[in-house]
Amino acid sequence: QVQLVESGGGLVQAGGSLRLSCAVSGRTFSRYNMGWFRQAPGKEREFVAAMTWSGSTTSYADSVKDRFTISRDNAKNTVYLQMNSLKPEDTAVYLCAAAPGVYGLGRESYEYWGQGTQVTVSS
């Protein structure tokens, strides 16, 4: 059984920074492609960032490019999302997800999901 637990969310002023963490249980974490998604109230869950299992490839939504950075530490079974220059429109529940198969940016590519952590950016 694979479990994902996010942490690091909170309330921050516009222009501030947060770093989210996602701890993953399971011995094969190093073989999972990992992604971050977010969901704001009344909106669809949307892709934020992804990284291949090796870390060789990363992808970002246009809305967060140059502000957010995804990284991973396979020794700690943890994936991170560094968020800088936060904007009120970044307010959402952020969820991490694991994909043991192909690398993709859509929700359908991911098999395991965390419960999410709330990020609120005040103006």
Interval 43-94: pLDDT, tens: 999 999 999 999 999 999 999 999 999 999 999 999 999 999 999 999 999 9
- Reported confidence tier of residue 26, pLDDT bands at 50, 70, 90: confident
* Other residues' Cβ atoms within 10 Å of the Cβ of residue 123: 9
Instruction: Identify the CA nearest to 54 among candidates 76, 70, 30, 27.
Output: 30
User: pLDDT class for 28, splitting at 50, 70, 90?
Assistant: confident
* Percent of the chain clearing pLDDT 90 (strictly above): 89
Q: At residue 2, does pLDDT exceed 80?
A: yes
Residue 4: predicted pLDDT: 96
* Buried residues in 12-46 as b, exposed as e (16+ CB within 10 A): beeeeebebbbbbebeebeebbbbbbbeeeeeebe
